[in-house]
Amino acid sequence: MATPSIQRPGKYTDDLAQAALATEDPVSPNEAADKEETTTETQRLSPMERWRNAIESANLTEDEADKILDAVLTNGFYDKTFKIFRGKLTITLRSRDSASLQRVSDALDTVRTNDVRVHTQTMNRYNLAASLVRYQDKTFKHPPLTADANDRDRAFVERLNFVDTIPAPVLVQMYAVLAKFDNTIFAALSEGAEMGF
């Protein structure tokens, strides 16, 4: 599989990525003790209780989490439409498959730097391209895993090339929406989800 060339992000994107990677203030000893106590308390919970906590943190109800889980188990993916910029931009995202994870790994293997910003930008681009179903009126193909590998690669490269045309301020907001979407998928399928059946 040919990996599309990866270009170093521009200064604007670098600055935004660096701001997003800013670390929190140092943790005081009291805060560290509180975190340790919370971790110990979490470990005492059953898997089902941890799952309920995870979906609550992701602002999901159990019914919503079950719908996500059912879609992933039945269709192989879950998709959702978002309206951003006060409803002026409509995008649809879908959960990613294992081939998408491999594409990200392959892309990171070709990056000749250990710069975290470059790795983050590469992962964001590839994950968005793998998840993007619709941008306004433009709909993108997502051939099934049973389709020819070349067809899947061509569809992915088309989506990746499109991602590279999105204005940087819009792209950064789409990355944020994708991160929130991924968080809901992770919560719905987290430990304890299988115990609800």
Strands (E), the chain: 79-84, 89-94, 132-135, 138-139
User: Hey, what are 130's tokens?
Assistant: 């793998």
pLDDT, tens digit, for every residue of 114-172? 899 999 999 999 999 999 999 999 999 999 888 999 999 999 999 999 999 999 999 99
How far, CA to CA in Å, does 104 sit from each of 15, 130, 188?
A: 22, 9, 23
Kindly list the domain boundaries of the chain, sorted by start residue. 31-196
Q: What pLDDT, on the 0 to 100 scale, is given for residue 113? A: 86
Distance CA 26, CA 148 (A): 50
Which amino acid makes up residue 148?
Answer: D
Q: What pLDDT, on the 0 to 100 scale, is given for residue 30? A: 63
Q: What pLDDT, on the 0 to 100 scale, is given for residue 71? A: 94
What pTM, to 2 d.p., does this model score?
A: 0.74
Which residues are paired to 83 by β-bridges? 90
pLDDT, tens digit, for every residue of 41-74? 656 888 888 888 988 989 999 999 999 999 999 9
Contacts 24+ apart (CB under 8 A), 158-166: 159/129, 159/130, 159/132, 160/4, 160/125, 160/126, 160/129, 161/4, 162/129, 162/132, 162/135, 162/138, 163/125, 163/128, 163/129, 163/132, 164/125, 166/135
pLDDT, tens digit, for every residue of 72-101? 999 999 999 999 999 999 999 999 998 898
Which residues are paired to 81 by β-bridges? 92
H-helix or E-strand containing 59?
none
